[in-house]
């Protein structure tokens, strides 16, 4: 009696198994790479040309974030402080420290210090610092406790899902505008972050976009 199916069909089960194994390997590899700190850069802490300590300048000396990052309230990006900003203090304070040689060289030559960028969103993503800080989103929410860092590292994944967690429920992160740059601020005893955030959300009409066009323009 002749076979109902041609001989080549005998290989179909084996081919299906191989295809499923390859697809599974790609899925596992993709999840392993794209959902780990290696891809999100969490913990990235490069060596900078000048060993600048936020713990010293912010936590101990009480310097405001806006003294160095002066554009953060009015521009889409937060600027790196210029050499002039550094030398406003360091022409008098530790003026001959070997650690500040790169700053003094920049002051003499006019060439900027070659700071290594830590936080960098993809070119296809749009983010506006001014919009966020003027609506009660603190530096702490995106950058962590920078005020305690001897050397700055990337504390948050800043992935699309991480951004959407905030956009979908901004009340979990909103704080009084006067406390946006206070890295040590916490709700007072008896205050509920979500209730307070909901109040700010309604008063300020905070409606973060959750569609593709909000961040991919």
Q: Note if the pTM is more than 0.85.
A: no
Residue 212, both tokens: 């593709």
Furthest-apart CA pair in the chain: how many Å?
101
Q: Is the pLDDT at 2 greater than 90, yes or no?
A: no
| For helices 83-90 and 101-109, angle between their N-to-C axes, nearest 10 degrees | 120
What pLDDT is stored for residue 3 in this prediction? 67
Report the distance separating Cα 27 and Cα 135, nearest Å. Answer: 39
pLDDT > 90? residue 22: no
What is residue 64's predicted lDDT score, i.e. its pLDDT?
95
pLDDT, tens digit, 9 for 90 and up, residues 177-192: 999 999 999 999 989 9
Q: For residue 216, is pLDDT > 90?
A: yes
pLDDT at 7: 75
**Domain edges within the chain:** 7-35, 48-80+118-215, 81-114
The answer to whether 83 touches 103, Cβ cutoff 8 Å, is yes
Q: What is the mean pLDDT of the chain?
A: 91
Please write the tens of the pLDDT for every residue from 120-178: 888 899 999 999 999 999 999 999 999 999 999 999 999 999 999 999 999 999 999 99
**pLDDT score recorded for residue 15:** 82
Q: What percent of the chain has pLDDT over 70?
A: 93
Give the pLDDT mean for 77-98. Answer: 95
Exposure string (b/e) for 46-82, b if CB count within 10 Å is 16 or more? eeeeeebebeebbbeeeeebeebbeebeeeeebeeee
CA distance 47 to 131: 30
């Amino acid at each position: 009696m002749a076979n109902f199916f041609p001989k080549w069909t005998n290989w179909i089960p084996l081919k299906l198994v191989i295809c499923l194994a390859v697809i599974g390997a790609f899925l596992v590899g993709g999840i392993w790479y794209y959902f780990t700190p290696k891809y999100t850069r969490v913990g990235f802490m490069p060596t900078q040309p000048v060993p600048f300590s936020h713990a010293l300048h912010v936590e101990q000396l009480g310097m405001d974030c806006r003294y160095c990052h002066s554009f953060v309230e009015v521009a889409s990006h937060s600027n790196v402080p210029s050499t002039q900003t550094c030398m406003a203090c360091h022409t008098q304070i530790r003026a001959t420290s070997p650690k500040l040689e790169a700053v003094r060289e920049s002051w003499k030559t006019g060439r900027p210090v070659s700071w290594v960028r830590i936080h960098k969103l993809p070119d296809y993503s749009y983010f506006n610092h001014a919009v966020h800080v003027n609506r009660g989103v603190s530096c702490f929410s995106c950058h962590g406790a920078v005020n305690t860092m001897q050397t700055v590292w990337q504390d948050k994944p800043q992935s699309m899902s991480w951004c959407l967690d905030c956009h979908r429920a901004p009340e979990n992160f909103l704080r009084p505008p006067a406390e946006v740059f206070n890295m040590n601020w916490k709700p007072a005893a008896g205050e509920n972050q979500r209730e307070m955030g909901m109040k700010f959300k309604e008063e300020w009409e905070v409606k973060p976009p959750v569609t593709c066009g909000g961040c991919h323009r």
